[in-house]
A and B are shown apart, each in its own frame.
Chain A
Amino acid sequence: GAGVSQSPRYKVAKRGQDVALRCDPISGHVSLFWYQQALGQGPEFLTYFQNEAQLDKSGLPSDRFFAERPEGSVSTLKIQRTQQEDSAVYLCASSLVLVDSGNTIYFGEGSWLTVV
């Protein structure tokens, strides 16, 4: 696709519900990142994939958060038993190869999650 696509753009969940957020990276991009951005804050790293391998999940705040990228393209971030503190914008980003080789990281517009 032309850019990183995320869906849904907006999600309102009742506390305790499970949610799934989808990220469709730019075609061919190997690296994929998830970030969480609370209101008025900078984004914070959640997890990183290289193709289908999840190489870093150190930022996932609890075991209620789970991410996958089974075929090395589309990724899903799942949050189980949502809580109010999970309310945030979830940003997905992708990069062509390894970011360290100087490739630009492209961000999606984010999925806005509100837990009520």
Chain B
Amino acid sequence: AQTVTQSQPEMSVQEAETVTLSCTYDTSESNYYLFWYKQPPSRQMILVIRQEAYKQQNATENRFSVNFQKAAKSFSLKISDSQLGDTAMYFCAFMKHGGIQGAQKLVFGQGTRLTINP
């Protein structure tokens, strides 16, 4: 079974600063996907960024980037030039590669509550 651990329950930074959220995971799979999701108070999960395990290059999406360390099973999210709208819960999630079995379930961490202060 896979597990995902987020060791920072809460974080708080000033607007325009850079913040890094940590995530580690445990799996015996060699091919899988990793995700960061944002959950505002409305509770709708919004995909922030996705990383395929077979890709060595770290994924980036505008102000969001990841540091994927496969050997260490670490997947951190860096938010640059943070904005007030970034305030939300952030969840790290794992999905194993489904192959011919197709879609697989997401395994989520416990989340990090991020607050961006003006």
Please list the residues of chain A having a beta carbon within 8 angstroms of any beta carbon in chain B: 31, 33, 35, 37, 40-45, 48, 50, 55-56, 59, 89, 91, 93, 95, 98-100, 104-105, 107-110, 112
List, in ascending order, chain B residues with CB within 8 A of A109's CB.
Answer: 42-44
Query: Within 8 Å CB of A43, what residues of B?
Result: 45, 91, 106, 108
Check A42/B111 contact, CB under 8 A, given A99-B98, A100-B98.
yes
Chain B interface size, under 10 / 10 to 19 / 20 to 34 / 35 or more: 20 to 34
Pick the contact of A105 from B47, B97, B107 — CB < 8 Å? B47
Contact bitstring B77-100, A, C-beta under 8 A = 1, else 0: 000000000000001010101110
Q: Which of A37, A42, A100 contacts B102 (CB 8 A)?
A: A100
Given contacts A100-B97, A110-B44, contact A42 B91 (CB under 8 A): yes
With both chains docked as a complex, state the minimum distance between the C-beta of B74 and any C-beta of chain A, in angstroms.
Answer: 18
Distance of B101 from chain A, by nearest CB (Å): 8
A90 CB to nearest chain B CB (Å): 10
23 contacts between A and B (CB under 8 A): A33-B103, A33-B106, A35-B106, A40-B111, A41-B111, A42-B108, A42-B109, A42-B111, A45-B106, A50-B102, A55-B102, A89-B43, A91-B43, A98-B98, A99-B104, A100-B101, A104-B47, A105-B47, A107-B44, A107-B46, A108-B44, A109-B43, A110-B43
**Residue B110 interfacial (CB < 8 Å):** yes
A43 to B95, CA, bound (A): 13
Is there contact, CB below 8 Å, between B103 and A48? yes
Cα-based distance from A91 to B47 in the complex (angstroms): 14
Q: With CB as the reference atom, state the residue of chain B lying closest to A95.
A: B103
Tell which of B44, B99, B111 touches A100, judged by Cβ atoms closer than 8 Å: B99
Taken together as a complex, chains A and B put the C-alpha atoms of A40 and B43 apart, in Å, by 12
Apart from A41-B111, A99-B98, A110-B43: 18 A-B pairs, beta carbons within 8 A: A33-B105, A41-B110, A42-B109, A42-B111, A43-B106, A44-B108, A45-B106, A45-B107, A50-B102, A50-B103, A55-B102, A56-B105, A91-B45, A99-B103, A104-B47, A107-B44, A107-B45, A107-B46
Q: CB-CB < 8 A to B105: which residues of A?
A: 33, 45, 48, 56, 59
